Structure formats: C-alpha cells, structure tokens
C-alpha cells in the first residue's frame, strides 16, 4: 500500500468530522423480507400495463432499471406518449411537473416519507397510520409507506389513469370517485381479478374467497420493489464493513470532502445518505410546475404543510446509486453530477445564471414551455430568498474526487436488477419496451 494511501486512510480514521458523521453499514435488518410469491406477483404487476386506465403504460415505463429506475429525462411526457428517454414523444401528452424519482432502497424501514414533497408519510394520528394527499384516505391497512405511495400514480391522469372520456377509471377519477365500490381503485382491482392467472396467485396469498383489493396490489408492488431495487452492496458499503481496499484514493478523498469540507453529509446523512427532511436549495423551476400561487410555481413541502417556512423545500434524496439516475433535482434541472454539485456550491449564482442547457426535456412540440417559472423574475426571487445552504469553495480536483465517491455508492447488481423483467405478463398486454438500453 502506498504511503499516500496509508496517510489518507489514517486521516479518515482520525478525522473528528468523519468519526462523528460516517454512517453505520447497511444491514439486512434495515429491510423487510417479502415472500417470494408476493415478490414475483409484484414483478408482473410492475411491468403490466393493466394497471393503467388506457392499458398503455406500466410502472416500469417510467421507472426503468436501464435508466436507474427513473427515465433519464428531467421531466417526462406522461400517459399517452410513446418511447423512452429523450426519444419519448406523444401528441397531447402532458409534461409531468416533477422529475421521476429513482426507487432504490425505498422499501427500507427508515423511508417513512416519500415523494419530493413528502405527501405520503407515516403518521400515527392518521387512519391506518399513513397520510395521503388531497383528501384521499386508505380503506384498509397497507404494509409500508412504499405500498401507500404506489396508490397515487394509478389515479394520476398524466401518469397512469388517463383523461376523462378515455376510460372508466379516468372518468371515476375526474368525478372524484377514488375509493368505495366502483371507485377508480376498485375498478383497477376488479380488472386485475378478471385475469385468471392473477386471481390464482392472489388466492395463494389471500385465500380463495377473499376479493382482491387495491391495497393487495400495492403491497405486492412494494414487495417487488423492496427486493428488486435494494442497493446495499456498493464499494462504500464494503469500506464501512472493514474492507480498506474497497475505495480508491480519489473516492477516499471524495468521502473526506463529503463528510467534511463540502458539508454534503449534513443533509445526506445516515446509512442511505438522506436525513429524510426537506431543504430549499434553489433548484431552478422548469416545466409546468404545480401552479402553487404564480403559474408554474412549485412550493414543494410548503404546499403540503401550508407553512410559509416550508416553501420551496424538497425532500433530501438518498444518494445510493445516484450515478445511475440523472438528471438531478426535483425538476431534473441538472443533467450531470458535476452540474448538480456546482449548483450546491453556489446556489444563488447558479439559479440566477440558469439557462436550461443542463436540462433534458423530450419535446412534444413548439408550444412546449421549458423554462417555466424561470421566466418569472419575481418567482425566481422567491426561490432565491428561500435558499438555506451556504456557499462552499471546492477546486475542480475536489469536485472530481467528490464525484468519485458518489460513484462508489453504486451497487453493481442495481445495473440489471435481481430478477429483471418477465418474459411476458399475465394480462397478455404488450410490455412497454423497458428492456431498451438508455437513450
């Protein structure tokens, strides 16, 4: 071992910052252990367009393992579009308001808040222990936050449900009939139950006389995602478990910066590099936004809590497998790790100088709005005023070392998944090309 590496390892071992902030290693006890029957059932459902209103899009269409369980674009074109990545097109398809998040490790026990604004979260004071947005409520208990979250894309018009007049599920959503008999969730469950292969497999789990409920479907989906997208065997994990050779010199330098000078670890803390809290970092607001106040604005957590102090705060994402899932930020405004890091180093300047060059937006047509709220000077000032991270000075070589460390958070098996896509799905519907390589 070189003298430089010995010195670097010695620094890592004795640094008071690192000693306090290096996380513990991830262990199997951080995750539930789903049964094989449910995992395999969830895999078929994850890849089956039967869950969408028009039966033309599946969970895997946007959460594609070949694209880091996201879709490799800043803001995707939603339901009704075709293709993947930058090649996705569709007449009339709407631009989604936020970047599609990756799914790595979301089944771990500590993930009790999901979505960029945390609108799905564990809450002991809420019916069945989980809070949903927009006056929705659970009809039955669910197994996890991930299972609760999986309910929402099914009834989102631009994600999976479709639009009024296109199918009965979309009509029910438009009329506000989500829960109850013949509500949107019930219609999806009945559609799945009408497929003999699905009915048989749910019978194995539920019993022969138990109707399939939407929460049974999302539990299977969550079990599959928990198993398939677990990422806990990266070089960094090996280092934490005592393998001093697991990280190269540049990654070790980057780790020291991450938990020291660069101050990344103040928010990206814990075993999954997230504090599960919400931060205002001044990410440029591109795309249609959420129409919070000014047109195309997105207040993030503030729209959920109603607190002015939460405006423009978004959930701290886990950084596991972060190198596999660009672009970055709640709006996907930055297409590389380098660009995202440079924004963190001087968020105010980055926001003021943003031109959209680091965005990846498939183009539906000439009327597409790209910069969104960035064209509203007052709204940009509002975003800037909320910034709560301090500038940090890093040299180009330090940024490079930091990227090396972030790449060392990649679990090699995550590049393909543990099971991968099935050869076909029980509904017989065509699968949505999810085995295509990234564009």
- Tokens 């999954």 -> residue: 272
* pLDDT tens, position by position, 40-67: 999 999 999 999 999 999 999 999 999 9
Q: How confident is the model at residue 83 (pLDDT cuts 50, 70, 90)?
A: confident
**Span 261-273, average pLDDT:** 96
Buried b (16+ CB within 10 A) or exposed e, 286-314: bbbbbebbeebbbbbbbbbbeeeebbbbb
Q: Is the pLDDT of residue 438 over 90?
A: no
Catalogue the E-assigned strands of 135-174: none
For position 41, what pLDDT does the model report?
A: 98
pLDDT band at 243 (very low <50, low <70, confident <90, very high): very high
Q: Which residues lie closer than 8 Å to 70 by C-beta, 6 or more apart?
A: 62, 63, 64, 99, 100, 101, 102, 325
Question: What pLDDT digit, counting tens, does each position of 359-404 carry?
Answer: 999 876 544 458 889 999 999 999 999 999 999 999 999 999 999 9
DSSP H or E run through 121: strand 120-122
In this chain, the answer to whether the domains covering 3-29+233-412 and 31-63+103-231 adopt an identical fold is: yes
Q: Is 90 exposed, middle or buried (0-12, 13-18, 19+ CB in 10 A)?
A: middle
Torsion of CA 156, 159, 163, 169, to 10 degrees: -60
Class assignment of domain 3-29+233-412? mainly alpha
| DSSP strand pairing (120-122 vs 113-114) | antiparallel
Tens digit of each residue's pLDDT (9 = 90 or more) over 140-196? 999 999 999 999 999 999 999 999 999 999 999 999 999 999 999 999 999 999 999
* Helix, strand, coil distribution of the chain in percent, nearest 5: 40, 5, 55
pLDDT of 430 higher than 60: yes
Q: What's residue 262's pLDDT?
A: 96
Residue ranges of domains in the chain = 3-29+233-412, 31-63+103-231
The answer to pTM > 0.85 is yes
Phi and psi at residue 336, in whole multiples of 5°? -135, 160
Confidence label for 5 from pLDDT (cuts 50, 70 and 90): low
Give the mean model confidence (pLDDT) for residues 104-121: 97
The mean pLDDT value for 420-432 works out to 93
**What are residue 315's DSSP bridge partners?**
278
| Contact indicator for 340, 402 with CB cutoff of 8 Å | no
In this predicted structure, what is the pLDDT of residue 436? Answer: 45
382, 299 contact by CB (below 8 A):
no
What percent of the chain is modeled with pLDDT above 70? Answer: 92
pLDDT class for 10, splitting at 50, 70, 90? Answer: low
Per-residue pLDDT tens for 327-337? 999 999 999 99
What is the residue whose two structure tokens read 């800043």?
74
Tokens 């019930």 label which residue?
186
Residue 75: is its pLDDT beyond 90? yes
Beta strand 130-131 with 278-279 is: unpaired
CA distance 393 to 404: 18
Output the pLDDT for position 295.
83
Residue-wise DSSP of 156-201: -IIIII--TTS-HHHHHHHTT--SSTTSHHHHHHHHHHTSHHHHHH
Task: Check whether 11 has a pLDDT greater than 80.
Answer: no
**CATH number of the domain located at residue range(s) 31-63+103-231 in this protein:** 1.10.760.10
pLDDT of 100 above 60: yes
Place of tokens 């194995």: 204
pLDDT of 435 > 70? The answer is no
Task: List the beta bridge partners of residue 76.
Answer: none
pLDDT band at 12 (very low <50, low <70, confident <90, very high): low
């Amino acid at each position: 071992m070189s003298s430089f590496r010995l010195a670097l390892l010695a620094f890592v071992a004795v640094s008071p910052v690192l000693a306090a902030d290096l996380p513990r290693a991830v262990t199997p006890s951080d995750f539930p252990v789903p049964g094989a029957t449910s995992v395999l059932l969830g895999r078929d459902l994850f890849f089956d367009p039967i869950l969408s209103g028009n039966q033309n899009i599946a969970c895997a269409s946007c959460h594609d393992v070949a694209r880091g369980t996201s879709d490799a674009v800043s803001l995707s074109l939603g339901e009704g579009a075709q293709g993947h990545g930058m090649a996705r097109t569709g007449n009339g398809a709407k631009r989604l308001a936020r970047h599609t998040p990756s799914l790595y490790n979301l089944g771990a026990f500590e993930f009790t808040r999901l979505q960029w604004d945390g609108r799905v979260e564990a809450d002991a004071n809420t019916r069945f222990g989980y809070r949903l947005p927009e006056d929705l409520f659970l009809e039955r208990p669910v197994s996890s936050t991930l299972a609760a979250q999986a309910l929402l894309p099914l009834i989102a018009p631009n994600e999976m449900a479709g639009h009024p007049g296109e199918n009965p599920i979309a009509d029910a959503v438009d009329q506000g009939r989500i829960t109850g008999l013949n509500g949107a969730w019930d219609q999806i469950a009945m559609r799945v139950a009408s497929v003999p292969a699905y009915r048989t497999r749910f019978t194995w789990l539920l019993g022969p006389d138990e109707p399939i409920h939407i929460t049974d479907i999302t539990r299977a989906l969550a079990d599959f995602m928990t198993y398939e997208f677990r990422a806990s065997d990266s070089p960094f994990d090996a280092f934490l478990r005592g393998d001093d050779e697991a990280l190269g010199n540049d990654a070790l330098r980057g780790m020291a910066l991450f938990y020291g000078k660069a101050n990344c670890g103040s928010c990206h803390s814990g075993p999954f590099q997230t504090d599960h809290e919400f931060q205002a970092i001044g990410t440029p607001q591109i795309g249609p936004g959420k129409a919070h106040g000014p047109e195309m604005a997105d207040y993030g957590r503030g729209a959920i809590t109603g607190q002015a102090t939460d405006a423009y705060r978004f959930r701290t994402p886990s950084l596991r497998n972060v190198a596999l899932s660009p672009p970055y930020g709640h709006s996907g405004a930055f297409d590389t790790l380098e660009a995202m890091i440079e924004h963190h180093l001087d968020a105010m300047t980055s926001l003021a100088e943003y031109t959209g060059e680091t965005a990846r937006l498939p183009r539906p047509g000439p009327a597409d709005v790209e910069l969104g709220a960035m064209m509203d000077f007052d709204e940009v000032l509002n975003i800037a005023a909320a910034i709560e991270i301090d500038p940090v000075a890093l040299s180009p070589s330090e940024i490079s070392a930091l990227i090396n460390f972030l790449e060392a958070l990649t679990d090699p098996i995550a590049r393909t998944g543990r099971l991968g896509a099935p050869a076909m799905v029980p509904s017989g519907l065509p699968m949505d090309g999810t085995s295509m390589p990234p564009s």
